[in-house]
Structure formats: structure tokens, C-alpha cells
Amino acid sequence: MSELDAIRELRARTGAGVLDCKKAIAESGGDIQKAIDVLRKKGIAKAESKAGREAKEGIIEAYIHPGAKLGVLLELNCETDFVARNQEFKNLAHDVAMHIAASDPVAVSRGDVPEEALQREREIYTEQARASGKPEHVVEKVVAGRLDKYYKENCLLEQPFVKDPDKTVKDVVTEAIARLGENIFVQRFQRFKVGEE
């Protein structure tokens, strides 16, 4: 495969710019998969540098699952109206809303989990660990490990993304930040299901 073909394929698979693709191909010795990894690592670094910037623009995405028994409203924020109107940003909002419909997260991130829910989980895990005869110093470690698993299963940004389980939702958002060049974050969401309170 020629360098030009490799750059075209990498652009098609990642959406990255020509110059970034050319550098990644050179850095990876022509291996497309390694070049993708190079771009992802650089994208994460770019995204982290944008994380502190204000993001007061964005969109509200409404997703209604076929059958009209399940729906999601999602607020996805970015820095400028220009990006908010971008099709890639809209697609990201749609994909995240669809993910919420499928995965039913409790909160956006760890800091958003209601304290009552955490307390209830702690009590359950503590009782389970004690009932299995674990010493008290081990109980604390077991509870901490199970809480970490609870966060990964119930916090939107830590969940495996439904369209690509090898990535978390946070990874998908981070890649979009790198491509679009702006801070992007999930502000809030609400999931509705017929018959649920």
C-alpha cells in the first residue's frame, strides 16, 4: 500500500486531518492499526488540554427507541454554535442518547451519583462481605472494589460504548474533542420508559 493510500484509509477510518494522518503513518512505520493508536493517544492529549475551557453552546438531542416505549433527552455541550451545528457533533449526540437508552446509566459521572444510592450499595456490599466471613480489613477492600465496578456499570462516561464495547463513552467523547477541536461534555440526560416512575 502506498503512503497516499495509507493516508486515505487512515483519514476514512479516523476522520483526522491529512497532516496528522501523514505524521501518524510515518511514526507507525506504515501500520494502519498502530497509526490509529498514535492518533488516539494524540487526541487524548489534545482533549485534555481543552477540558478546562467553557462549553456553553450545544444541543438537546431527543432519541425515541422504535416502538415509542423508551426515550432519552440529552444535553451535549460544546464551545461554539459552529460546532453545535456540525453533523459530526449531532451524530455524537445521537449515538450517546442511543447508548443511554440501551444501557440505562444512573448518572453522567462518579460525582453525579446520588449519595443515597452509594450509601445503599455500600451497605449491601458490606453485609455480603461480612456474611461470607471476610475479616474487617478485607471487607473495606471488597466494598471499594465492588463500588468501583458499580461506577463502571452505572456511570455513563465509564460504560462500554454500545457501538464499540472496546471503548468507553468517555473515549468516544474524547475522540470527538480531538477531531472537532473544542471541549465537549455531557451536561445531563433523562431516560423515560413507559410504565416507569
Computed over every residue of the chain, the mean pLDDT equals 86
Virtual torsion, Cα 19, 4, 83, 160, nearest 10 deg: -100
Closest CA to 92 of 175, 15, 181: 175
Sequence-separated (6 or more) residues with CB below 8 Å from residue 76 = 58, 59, 61, 89, 92, 93, 96, 184, 185, 186, 187
* Residue 134 cell numbers, joined: 471476610
Report residue 135's pLDDT band, with 50, 70 and 90 as the boundaries: confident
Q: Is the pTM of this model over 0.85?
A: no
Estimate the crossing angle of helix 3-14 against helix 32-50, to 10 degrees.
Answer: 50
pLDDT tens, 83-130? 999 999 999 999 999 999 999 999 999 889 889 988 998 888 888 888
Q: What residue segments make up the domains of the chain, in order of their start?
A: 3-50, 57-108+155-193, 114-153
What is the tens place of the pLDDT at every residue in 53-78?
Answer: 666 789 999 999 999 999 999 999 99
> Is residue 5 predicted with pLDDT exceeding 90?
no
What is the CATH code of the structural domain delimited by 57-108+155-193?
3.30.479.20
DSSP state of 92: H
pLDDT at residue 38, rounded to an integer: 81
- Hey, which CATH number is domain 3-50, 3.90.1150.10, 1.10.8.10, 1.10.530.10, 3.40.50.1000? 1.10.8.10
- The CATH number of domain 114-153 is 3.40.640.10: no
